[in-house]
Chain A
Amino acid sequence: MPRNGAGTARTLTYLTLMAVAFFSALPLYYSVVVASRDNSALADVPPPLVPGGNLVANIGRVFDTVPFALALFNSVLVAGGIAISVMFFSTLAGFAFAKLRFRGSRILLVITVATMMVPTQLGIIPLYLLMVKLEWTGSMYALVVPALTNAFGVFFMTQYLSRALPTELLEAGRVDGCSTWGLVWHVVLPAARPAAAVLGMLTFMSAWNDYFWPLVVLTPENPTVQVALSTLAAGYVSDYALSLAGTALGTLPLVIVFALLGKQVIGGIMQGAVKG
Chain B
Amino acid sequence: MATRAPDNVAAIPPAPPVRSSPGTNRRHLVHRLDVKGSPYAYVAPFFLLFCAFGLFPLAYTAWVSLHEWTLLSDVHTFVGLDNFRTLLADDYFWNATFNTVSIGVFSTAPQLLLAIWLAHLLNRPLKAQTIFRVTLLLPNVTSVVAVVVIFSQLFGRDYGLINWVLSWFGAGAVDWNAGTATSHAAISVMIMWRWTGYNTLIFLAAMQAVPRELYEAATIDGASGFTQLRKITVPMIRPTIVFVVITSTIGAMQILAEPLLFGTYSLTGGPDRQYQTLALFIYENFTKLDFGYASAVSWMMFVFIVIVAAINYLLTRRTRGSLT
**Residues of chain A having any CB pair with chain B under 8 Å:** 9, 13-14, 16-17, 20-21, 23-25, 27-28, 30-31, 34, 42-43, 45-47, 89, 92-93, 95-97, 99-102, 105, 108, 112, 115-130, 132, 145-146, 148-151, 154, 167-168, 170-171, 174-175, 177, 179-181, 183-184, 205, 208-209, 211-212, 216, 225-226, 229-230, 233-234, 237, 240, 243-244, 247, 250-251, 254-255, 258-259, 262-263, 265-266, 269-271, 273-274, 276
Contact = CB atoms under 8 A, between A and B. Distances in A.
Nearest to A261: B134
A230 B265 contact: yes
A233 B265 contact: yes
B145 A171 contact: no
Contacts of A273: 201-202, 205-206, 240
B265 A171 contact: no
Contacts of B8: 99-101, 167
Given A121-B254, A126-B61, A247-B146, 13 more contacts: A20-B132, A27-B193, A89-B46, A92-B43, A100-B8, A116-B247, A119-B302, A123-B56, A154-B43, A170-B12, A212-B256, A229-B145, A230-B261
B204 A270 contact: yes
Q: Which of B39, B291, B302 has the most CB of A within 10 A?
A: B39
B221 to A, nearest CB: 14
A114 to B, nearest CB: 11
B68 to A, nearest CB: 14
11 contacts: A30-B161, A120-B57, A125-B291, A125-B294, A126-B56, A130-B57, A170-B9, A250-B145, A262-B137, A263-B130, A265-B137
B72 interface: no
Contacts of A17: 118, 121-122, 126, 132
Contact of A119 (B5, B283, B305): B305
Contacts of B159: 42-43, 47
B149 A183 contact: no
Interface stretch (B83-91, B101-109, B150-158, B180-188): B150-158
A117 B247 contact: yes
Contacts of A259: 134, 138
Interface stretch (B18-26, B47-55, B268-276, B314-322): B47-55
A30 B305 contact: no
Nearest to B147: A27
Given A125-B291, A167-B5, A229 B146 contact: yes
Contacts of B36: 102
Given A211-B144, A270-B201, A27 B151 contact: yes
B58 to A, nearest CB: 4
B131 interface: yes
Nearest to B151: A27
A130 B126 CA distance: 52
Nearest 5 pairs of A and B residues by beta carbon: A123-B57, A234-B265, A123-B58, A270-B205, A262-B134
B121 to A, nearest CB: 5
Contacts of A174: 9, 12, 14
A175 B257 CA distance: 55
Given A93-B46, A127-B53, A168 B5 contact: yes
Contact of A149 (B49, B64, B147, B247): B49
B14 to A, nearest CB: 8
A124 B147 CA distance: 23
Q: Which of A117, A154, A170, A266 has the most CB of B within 10 A?
A: A266
A208 B58 contact: no
B261 A233 contact: yes
B150 A269 contact: no
A14 B150 contact: no
B34 interface: yes
B92 interface: no
Contacts of B145: 211, 226, 229-230, 233, 247, 250
Contacts of B247: 116-117
Contacts of A128: 286
B126 A269 contact: no
A43 B158 contact: yes
A107 B52 CA distance: 20
Contacts of A119: 58, 250, 253-254, 301-302, 305
B295 interface: yes
Given A92-B42, A151-B50, A274-B209, A25 B202 contact: no
Interface string B119-150: 00110101000111111111101111111111
B177 to A, nearest CB: 11
B45 interface: yes
Contacts of B60: 123, 126
Contacts of A24: 135-136, 138-139, 193, 197
Nearest to A111: B47
A56 B250 CA distance: 41
B10 A100 contact: yes
A263 B14 CA distance: 42
